[in-house]
Structure 1
Amino acid sequence: MKKIDIHLHLTLQQYPKTDTMFLSSAAQMLPHLEELGIEQGIVLSSGEQENEQILVAANEECKRICEQFPKKFHWMCNVDAKNQTDVYKRILACKESGAVGIGELMVNQRLDAPFLQSVFEVAEELKLPVLFHMSPKEGFQYGVVDGPGLPLLEENLKRYKGLKFIGHSQPFWHEISKDAPATPKERMKWGEGAVCPGGRLPYLFETYENLYGDLSANSGGCAIMRDEEFGLAFLEKYQDRLLFGTDMANCEMTFPLGNWLDEQEHAGRLSRSAYEKICRTNAEKLFHL
């Protein structure tokens, strides 16, 4: 069974390699995806406006990638916090242009900030899932902000019961373990070692059916693979709300989770049902692919 990758960063044209950033064009990425057993991917947007310092495609370029490769790619839109007016109109225009969700939401504001609240209100009304990158504090890199234990995320899960929140990045996935670190620096490291039962993330998944998990990158991958027994049980229990992704930006990147999932299913350690949902059918259902 071919996978759907819900977390890709691509461009329409190939940019020259640099020491800090290398992004592949959608066309150049296709053979790499085929090699990895990925049939379709969702391209995430950097925002509404092109930024010369951020090569990741913005809304219009994401849309054009999907128009050029309609059987291979879908896209999520993004909104810029510099403009806090007409949020409904702006997001609606993206949905009408084919956006299947909002992401990767990276606005470096607390999850209870007025602008983010307006985004969530519109997303709930328009039935667009929101995939967010989480940061440990304001002014620290990028991403929506929540503290240890994810209290603000829980408030939003309660408030927007009709909105599907898709969690991503280290501060989110660290909370799979009860001994999750509390300092910003430690919260940004990859998870490792045995998972301590009683983490906030399993509680939130158990309590709120509108919480989903993006398994991409080393953040999601390490959360599952760091303690295989716990990770496999987590995949089985929440198989309806976990989504395979890579967070790849170029054709030289790979992440180990895809092969690991294949191996676990082949060995009978992960059920076929969970494997198919996580690798493909959850994405088809959630994003109406």
Structure 2
Amino acid sequence: MIRATANADGALFTLNASASGPVVSLDNRAFINLAKGDPSRRKRFLGAIHSGVELLFSVTNAAELSGPQGRSADIVRAFLDEIGPRWFPAKHDVTEVIKLEIEGKSPDAVCIDQDFLKSYVADLLHPYTPGCGKVISLSDDFFRLGPIMDRVGPQRESIYKSSESLDELLKEKMNVVRALSKRNPLLLDKKFPWIQFNPTRPACFVYFNLLRVMAVDASSLKSGDGMDFCHAVMATAFASFATLDKHWKRRIESLPKPNQLARVYGPSELDQMVTDMELWLAHRAAS
């Protein structure tokens, strides 16, 4: 959740993002289906958000959601705005996340992109110049998500170019490992051994084990998988509920168990996800 605390002196306010309850992470197909699909499901999802569930949101979510135009974009923007401040920005650079996790940083420091949040709020404050006569109201409405689409939209092409480069690098590396492991089956265990779940390093668990899965699965990698890989790591390591496409859902579900990763839902399971969010909140209220 985004919070701003007024200061008596110095800076006008202190800005902070944190997660204190269950977290949900959505891929862009889920965002669009929740926004434009069954109105009752949309209402229930937003009800769960405002009852204590936090949304993990990334710059790539914003970049992809800024693509649609016209009425579709308006519906998605309205949906994002209704989430209010009950979101936090997740880091997208998973190599940085892994580094921080190995260094023993706190989950908030590992996952939450405070720099992105501060720059986003700085953009929102830009019109409030001294003497402009405008009053800054740090209400829930101030931290709505819709304006992020305007901010990230112009960066969409550069984000996609970076994604394409990551796709090529990932596919090239995985193809090499796959070819070598075919000649020497022991190489896979040496290069990418299965690692067991460590609750202090959930991202490491997903990251390194997924690399092994993808090395075996290299021939099926496709455009966009670099970005999807980053999303899968962050979503399943730091959320309680996460949506992924069927290929990434299968990959995540193949990782060693037991683990404490997010429960993953495919494209046709949004109703079940919303129900599970409601059940979690009901259980918390009763305990």
TM over 0.5: no
TM-score by length of 1: 0.33
Q: Which has the higher contact order (CA 8 A, sep 6+)?
A: 2
TM-score by length of 2: 0.33
Larger radius of gyration: 2
